[in-house]
Structure 1
């Protein structure tokens, strides 16, 4: 486990934990200190800044407008301290560190395990944390300091986020090998709708990619199922209960062993879902985080290239 660098006032660390927990008591438990000590530091901060940082509500604490501004400052300060610690370790040849990743379900089946294995082999002292979220929630996790890196599909551009890497992957219909669509090289959404649709809920990027196509259908589509779980959608598709939608990322093993077929959507020459790696704009990455980001970039580019090669013979077929 990497050591923590404590070069700032305890009040900053206490404030950061309280804002995450929305509770002084829970923050004190996690910090392993007395609640009174945490409360004293928060009151001291509020006195020095001349304004309340939290609203005291019956259900817990909530940041005030001033608290939100101070939280942004604290996030930068603590992340910069982590970068300094990492660079000091690197100078000593220790190669330690910790990387927190907020990501989507699909990359945990194969892509992320491959990168984590490679990192573990090269830097055995580096530790990792992974939080699964819907794509729409990942920017907040990166911006509030809960994650060093965000890995997600089809995020809208934001001035607050820097895109470190991106891969373009075809969105396609997912069906069982014996399905009527399984022998096609491409399929329209209308043809998929004839066999029943298994759709993603709004917290997933696939929902937003398919929404314009669904609106163009002559007959409104009534999905068999809407789910926030890609794994559930794939399991239903395997059983022939309908047509699900996904990129090849996340179903690599099912495609390799022939349990699923991926048929790219044909609308507008193909529907692409961009898998991007994101960091808070302006942040200097700690050594371990930078090494992980570079390894992930290599893997994303490799898989993008493999997909292009696999699909090339099918163009115009």
Structure 2
């Protein structure tokens, strides 16, 4: 949320949202660069006008009451709408300014997101961008809470809280060094990999869940990790067979350091990479612009493995 968008609305709404995000009046004041007394005064004024406490005052900090949670939804919509209006007005003037917060899974950090940022800086140099790397499971809440504008993640469950702007499908495969016994295969089954040391994603990750559906009794792996980057580094060192899409290992594949063998037996395993926003929200111009760049980049990656995107 830009400072200019914040100035459109009453300070009490802006301060309330800052307190909600920070968890304390003091930290909210620090982030806003405003005296704590001024922030607290606006909060008390807002609670008085609404006739109900919005936060529980706990030793560990402030926690939203039920009334506070209800008002938070209103505040998020108001402030996001202010950003959209500001962005559209400036777009009409040819300025193309704004700020976009993106949440993306770790595997996109190696190639896809850097490509997106390079293109965004070239086309929209006055748009500022924040990148938040988080797991797929945390991205929906970040979108719903208004902490981020765009989410890019694999295999998110469909929800009435989220709107899917675009999607492309990618093969899940076994990832091994080129001298590994599995590297010469054109396709594999999960069972064919079980006689080798496995580097499996943690159970909360979508890839692990898909592997479990394909092979109900996965063995105890040599290594488990929630980090795609760590799994890649371990595979490069010959410590086991990892599983993922080609996203995140593009450079290693191009340089012949790794081989990606699709899992196609008894049926192909695929993972959908989508771009998401909070449902029932009309995003600002800058958000739409970034979403289009991300969708196009995902489409390029999908085309490289023979898929048609979207």
TM-score, structure 1 as length reference = 0.93
Partner of 1:30 in structure 2? 31
Please say if 1:273 is aligned against 2:274.
Answer: no
Partner of 1:4 in structure 2? 4
Contact 1:135 1:203 survives alignment (8 Å) = no
Partner of 1:71 in structure 2? 72
Partner of 2:211 in structure 1? 210
**Aligned residue pairs: how many?**
307
Partner of 1:169 in structure 2? 170
Partner of 1:314 in structure 2? none
Report the CA distance shift for 1:18/1:3 in structure 2 as closer, same or farther (over 3 A): closer
Q: 1:234-249 to 2 correspondence within 5 Å?
A: 234-249=232-247
Contact 2:149 2:287 survives alignment (8 Å) = yes
Partner of 1:299 in structure 2? 297
SS at match of 2:188: coil
Comparing 86-95 and 203-212, the one that deviates more: 203-212
2 CA distance for matches of 1:262 and 1:286? Answer: 38
Question: Could you tell me how far 1:59 is from its partner in structure 2?
Answer: 0.6
Partner of 2:285 in structure 1? 287
Partner of 2:145 in structure 1? 144
1 CA distance for matches of 2:58 and 2:193? Answer: 50
2 CA distance for matches of 1:52 and 1:208? Answer: 42
Question: Could you tell me how far 1:3 is from its partner in structure 2?
Answer: 5.3
2 CA distance for matches of 1:20 and 1:93? Answer: 32
Contact 1:87 1:286 survives alignment (8 Å) = yes
Question: Could you tell me how far 1:305 is from its partner in structure 2?
Answer: 2.0
Question: Could you tell me how far 1:127 is from its partner in structure 2?
Answer: 1.0
Comparing 96-105 and 198-207, the one that deviates more: 198-207
**Deviant stretches of 4+, over 6 Å:** none
- Structure 1 residues without counterparts, runs of 5 or longer: 311-317
- Structure 2 residues without counterparts, runs of 5 or longer: none
TM-score, structure 2 as length reference = 0.95
2 CA distance for matches of 1:21 and 1:207? Answer: 33
